[in-house]
Amino acid sequence: MLTLYHYDTAVCAAKVRVTLAEKAIPFEGKIIDLQRGDQFAPEYRQLNPSAAVPVIVHDGRTLTESTVINEYLDEIFDGPALRPADAFGKARVRLWTKREDSIHDVINTMTVAIVFRADLLAKPEAERAKRYEGIPDPVKRAKWRELMEVGLDAPVVTEGLARFNKLFKDMEKALEPGPWLTGAAFTLADIGFISFFARMEAMEAAGIWKNHYPRVADWFERCKARPSYKTAIADWIPAARAEHFTRVSKPLREKVEATFVAAMAIV
């Protein structure tokens, strides 16, 4: 029996849903509503002290961390292998998934700066603070505070977009043979980035790769053409939330692009 604790639009949870879809693994889903603050409930923090999704419970055992969960699922379930069989091939996939883990905070930065900030600024001060004062990691909590104050002008945004630029450069090079990041086979390396790109696209920010990195743009279109994209990502985005993301993000599109172009000069 496999249970996934997740949230419809949470990118890390979507990463695991893509793996479940690609391997056709049945699961029971339990929604942890991140907007309502379910992640901070003491009983959920017993499962994941970091107060985050995803979590899986498989045969009574609990696992956190989307990359670790994806490797575990690939290892123990039948279905198409999502990593090469040999140690070197696995290591090459790991280099990308390690990168995904380290770049996730930039997705969070951009989402807070573009969408959550707009949402929270419309709320009373006390309610606003409640959304992030419970975040256990003090660095992440301080980042939220800074982004609430200055939004896209925060240095953490420019620094994050510079890291994106370095990533896109490396992906563009890796995709020269293609069609996937590590070559002919679609692997966990590709899976880990899909929901991150989907989030940036939902925030009207796809120009940061579309205007500069054509192979990366083609790769993402190939990812979107896979049935797992619909099952694990697109079908989970409530129409009203998608519209809301577009409405809030559109006025900031030029600013994001300009900040990205400035950040391109850094790396």
Ligand X SMILES: N[C@@H](CCC(=O)N[C@@H](CS)C(=O)NCC(=O)O)C(=O)O
Cβ–Cβ < 8 Å for 91, 34: no
- What character string, x for contact with ligand X (CB under 6 A) and - otherwise, covers 114-143? ---------------------x--------
CB of 216 to ligand X, least distance (A): 21
Q: Output 177-181 pairs: Cβ under 8 A, ≥24 positions apart.
A: 178/215, 178/219, 179/219, 179/222, 180/219, 180/222, 181/96, 181/219
* Interface pick for ligand X out of 4, 34, 152, 189 (rule CB under 6 A): 34
Q: Does the footprint of ligand X cover residue 52 (CB under 6 A)?
A: yes
* Interface pick for ligand X out of 4, 11, 161, 194 (rule CB under 6 A): 11
Query: 41 or 258, CB closer to ligand X?
Result: 41
Tokens 């679609």 belong to which residue?
Answer: 186
- How many amino acids of this chain bind ligand X (CB under 6 A)? 15
Q: Does the footprint of ligand X cover residue 113 (CB under 6 A)?
A: no
Q: Nearest residue by C-beta to ligand X? A: 52
How many other CB atoms are there within 10 angstroms of residue 166's CB atom?
15
Q: Does the footprint of ligand X cover residue 65 (CB under 6 A)?
A: yes
CB of 87 to ligand X, least distance (A): 24
Q: Identify the DSSP state of 250.
A: G
User: Which one of the spans 45-53, 142-150, 158-166, 232-240 is the region binding ligand X (CB under 6 A)?
Assistant: 45-53
Q: Does the footprint of ligand X cover residue 148 (CB under 6 A)?
A: no
Query: 34 or 110, CB closer to ligand X?
Result: 34
Read off φ and ψ for residue 77, nearest 5 degrees.
-105, 150
How many other CB atoms are there within 10 angstroms of residue 4's CB atom?
22
CB of 262 to ligand X, least distance (A): 27
How many other CB atoms are there within 10 angstroms of residue 170's CB atom?
15
* Interface pick for ligand X out of 53, 63, 148, 194 (rule CB under 6 A): 53
For the beta sheet containing 28-31, the strands, ordered from the edge strand earlier in sequence to the opposite edge, are 28-31, 2-6, 55-58, 61-64
Q: Identify the DSSP state of 113.
A: I
**Residue numbers at the binding site for ligand X (CB under 6 A):** 10-12, 34, 39, 51-54, 65-67, 101, 104, 135
